[in-house]
Structure 1
Amino acid sequence: MKITKILITGGVVFIAVVLLAGFGCKKVDTTTTGAANQEAVELEYWRLWDDSTAFDDIISEYEGSHPNIKINYHKMTVDEYENEVVTKLAAGEGPDVFSIHNTWVPRYIDKISTMPDEGLVSYITVKSGCKTTTQKTQSQQMTVQEYEDTFPDVAQTDFLGTTKDESAVSKNVILGIPLSIDTLALYYNKELFNSASIAKPPATWVDFQNYVQDLTRKDIYGDLKISGAAIGTAENINRAVDIMYLLMLQTGTKMVNDEKTEAVFDKPVQDASGESIPTGLNALQFYTEFANPKKVVETWNPKQDYSIDAFAKGTTAMMFNYSYKIAELETKAPNLIYDIAPVPQPTDITAKVNYANYWGEVVAKNSDHQVEAWDFLQFLAKKESQKKYLDATGRPAAHKDLIEEQLSDPVLGVFAKQTLSAKSWYQADNAGIENDFIKMIEDVVYNRATLEESIHNAATTVSELMKND
């Protein structure tokens, strides 16, 4: 009896389990990302500045939804980076994804790929009832319009290009994705401002000239004791050429011709009334007068300490720089009482002009995995990914939605306010052009050439660089 009861009970349990399992299959309807029919792909990602921790969460999330793709992140030093990138790319090796400065685009245009028309093809595992199938799916590509809706004008200028399709019809293409956009800002010493009874930073360049005179202090021998601002020379001012670029762009200087074959910043431009204005020359004169002992605005000279050191020591009241110098300044002078303001603007300007300095993520043209690399970059372009990056690094935003969120930030708000009005200009060889501008400034400061000769010589040498491009 007991044996029979046990057998019957066991049979009932077995049938119940089978029935429940069967009914359970009918209720299952799930979709999971899988790597079915997909080869394993490793993407090499090279960058400067940021440790891997800035990308850990982003990469982990991307790899989680793309199990067949592994991203190897490498942070490199400034000294080795560009030489290593160029050497490896020339050898058909190197990174799949890497960063280039916004001024490097002309030099790298033949080394980077454009976003492909079709997105990444992947496969998902679909479970329906007791049946499992593999389905093909394709990611949607970011359109040029979506890019314009997402990133500021300066990114569109630098990282949108033009190519021709199979029918020889021109079309706009995406070259790179920015994660952050920095802008030149004004750092000022609040204690020196208070001592000079100056309540707020200069809004215009006329204000700036007046403040410089109020802040500058000289000893009985006429030597500078306190400088009003680090401006006027080149060699002892960090990013001096960027200040020069800013002034030229603010005054409406046309930097290169429309064909991008010649530098024209030495040539006058016509204003609304048809009058020819030597805007580039005027900008150079304005800048170098701050290092001219014959001018009332003299406040700097080649003997001054390097601009960042002078500001850190409290021997100059103002300097121009980017947000990435905050950390260095906090290390050099943790007790310095200072603030950051937007750069001054011309009094008669109709629209504000600021100067951008930033990097974009690009895909190597020789990569065997361009589609996968671009899919990852599109993931980086998403607001959520960009926010994770900004939270990890404390940098100014590039995504328009995040720029808006940073406007009220006590530190980054200044930079966020300038991003939408930031500009850059076409530089065929940014390093060579920087050297030419340094020489132009120093030739004026040391009286080696007149203003007219200096700017003409610079335009000539920059034009030569453009011909060799």
Structure 2
Amino acid sequence: MKRPLVIAALVLLILAVFFILVMNKIICLPSWLPLLGGQCENDTTPKEITLTYWSLWENAANIQPLIDKYQSLHPGVHIDFQQREPVNYFETVRARLATELTPDIIRVHNTWVPYLRKYLSAVPNEIMSPEVYEQTFYPVTKDTLYADGKYYAIPLEIDGLAMMYNKTLLSEAGITQLPRTWDEFKEVSAKLTKKDAAENITQAGTTLGYARGIEHFSDILGLLLAQRQIDFEDKNHRVSFHKSLSALGENLGVEVLNFYKIFSTSRKSWNDSWDCALDAFAEGKLAFFFAPSFRVLDIFGKNPNLPLGIAPVPQLAIDDPETPTVNWGTFWVETVPKHSPYQKEAWEFLSFLSQKENLAEMFRLAQNTPGRPFGEPYPRRDMAEELANNQYLSAYIIQAPTYTSWNMADATHDELLNDRIVKILQEMINKVNRGAKIQDYLNEAAAKTQQILDSL
């Protein structure tokens, strides 16, 4: 008699527990079951998720208020922001992207995207269509972030190469008009070059002509090649910067290298015994220095009183309809890996960050950081006016609509990609300065560059 009572009690207990689990939506039953079915279908309780965000450069304090704002608007979404070290960053990102242990959002250099794209998800149309994307951001994004009708990253900044100059050195030399063309630059940099009695350069006009110890010399080469309308790749995505010919059949890449070599020979304007161009500029020994905006922070870190001016880079010609204005872009973007289980949520958060008011807030927070005069330049076309009068950033924004970009970018911290190409270009410049077989050196650099890209 006792055994049936025990069994009945156990059954009732199990049913009671089951009922509690169903009513608390821990167990969900299909809607066709009477009474208890469909309890979870109208559940509006937010799902608890954590988005892991790998970033560089910006510290957490400059983005945390926006993270807090987003989390308050989206209960259940938590953002784990991690500022990573740049050393071996590309290699770490590439390795993690191939696994299930990837972060949900990763900042990468724009030139990395074509070689990481197989691991990345595309921006969903419902979050930002390609048409809206192209109306929002500068055209340079299409160079590296676009493929097969989709974009694979959202930029939260834009940057490129501008011409920094020492106002005092130019004033002392009586130079009141900044050079706008490379022919003008050639004359002005020569005028700013000073030598001692032994013909040693004591004040350099420019770093052009050399590679060793010259930050961003590879970006300058990329700019010069692009201004000559040289294709970096052909339609099959094979390296082609050594093949472009002029209407007269002359190799345009060779012409660029011959122009670059002028500054190490007949118009020598740099002391090649000096080890670092940035240091020379910060010390007041170099008149012109070509670099992205982030180098301003490095320069002021060494000499906060430097009389710094920044202007757009010279062009081949001004107001010539047959010679388009071309500038050089190099910038960082945010991506979402394919292996992230929260791709939609990650893109929604990046879309939130890319809104005008939130970019402005990040800029303000960064600008209030001690020792930092500005935040990251705005990547949106409709925010250009807001930086039009910024003494440090206006030149970069003026140039932004005509930026182009390729894998010749310096300071990208990627030993397997741009860093290796930069070393190849340095070897090429060294050979150009020592010998006369410029076409051979150009061909060799292109072949070695192709090997690097093939290895990825």
Q: State whether TM-score is above 0.5.
A: yes
Amino acid at match of 2:449: V
Give SS of 1:257's match.
coil
SS at match of 1:323: coil
1:364-404 Cα offsets, whole Å, 9 max, x none, are: 11111111111112212222222222223322110111123
Q: CA deviation at 1:301?
A: 4.3
Pick one of 346, 355, 361 that aligns with 1:382. Answer: 355
Q: What is the TM-score of this pair, normalised by structure 1?
A: 0.81
Pick the aligned partner of 1:359 from 332, 343, 346. Answer: 332
Counterpart position of 1:218: 195
Task: Note if 1:183 corresponds to 2:152.
Answer: no
Q: Which amino acid aligns with 2:397?
A: A
Letter in 2 for 1:268: S
1:48-91 deviations in Å (ceiling 9; x for gaps): 10001121122112111110110000001111533332333333
**CA distance in structure 1 between the partners assigned to 2:47 and 2:447 by the alignment:** 53
Seen in structure 2, the aligned counterparts of structure 1 residues 392 and 280 have a Cα distance that, compared at 3 Å, is farther
Tell which deviates more after alignment, 426-435 or 389-398: 426-435
Shift in Å, 1:279: 1.6
Q: Is the 8 A contact 1:41 1:69 kept in 2?
A: yes
Partner of 1:127: none
Match status 1:143 vs 2:124:
no
Q: 2:264 and 2:442 mapped to 1: Cα distance?
A: 17
Does the CA-based 8 Å contact 2:160-2:328 persist in structure 1? yes
Report SS of the residue matched to 2:90: helix
Asked if structure 1 preserves the Cα contact closer than 8 Å seen for 2:316 and 2:323, the reply is no
- Secondary structure of the corresponding residue to residue 158 of structure 2: strand
Within-5 A mapping of 1:319-398: 319-347=289-317, 350-393=323-366, 394-398=375-379
| Counterpart pick for 2:380 among 393, 396, 399 | 399
- Which residue matches 1:92? 100
Query: Which string of whole-angstrom CA distances, capped at 9 and with x for unpartnered residues, describes residues 166-212 of structure 1?
Result: xxxxxx11211001111111111112111211112211101100011
| Counterpart contact for 1:216–1:228, Cα < 8 Å | yes
Counterpart check, 1:152 vs 2:160:
no
| Secondary structure in 2 matching 1:74 | strand
Matched AA of 2:277: S
Q: Equivalences for 1:436-455 in 2 at 5 Å?
A: 436-447=424-435, 450-455=437-442
Does the aligned pair in 2 maintain the 1:356–1:422 contact within 8 Å?
yes
Structure 2 CA distance for aligned equivalents of residues 206 and 363 of structure 1: 44
Q: Distance in 1 between matches of 2:43 and 2:183?
A: 63
Q: 1:35 to 1:189 in 2, by over 3 A?
A: farther
- Pairwise mapping of residues 51-66 of structure 1 onto structure 2 (< 5 A)? 51-66=59-74
430-439 or 362-371: bigger deviation: 430-439
Amino acid at match of 1:63: Q
Secondary structure of 1:255 counterpart: coil
Equivalent positions of 1:61-210 (< 5 A) are 61-117=69-125, 140-162=126-148, 172-210=149-187
> Where does the alignment leave 5 or more consecutive residues of structure 1 unmatched?
1-33, 118-139, 163-171
RMSD of Structure 2 on Structure 1 (CA): 2.0
Separation (CA, whole Å) in 1 of partners of 2:283 and 2:302: 8
**AA of the residue aligned to 2:120:** I
Aligned to 1:122: none
Post-superposition offset of 1:426: 6.0
Equivalent position of 2:243 in the other structure: 267
Secondary structure, aligned partner of 1:314: coil
Structure 1 residues 285 and 196: CA distance shift in structure 2, 3 A: same
Moved more, 44-53 or 331-340: 331-340
Letter in 2 for 1:81: Y
Query: Quick one: which amino acid aligns to residue 153 of structure 1?
Result: P
Distance 1:80 1:456, change over 3 A: closer
Q: Distance in 2 between matches of 1:357 and 1:56?
A: 26
Given the superposition, is the C-alpha separation of residues 426 and 302 from structure 1 closer, same or farther in structure 2, using an over 3 Å criterion?
closer
Counterpart check, 1:433 vs 2:421: yes
Deviation for aligned residue 1:147: 0.2
Alignment partners' CA distance in 2, 1:238 and 1:281: 22
Q: Using the alignment, how far apart are the partners of 1:278 and 1:83 within structure 2?
A: 36
| Greater fraction of residues in strand | 1
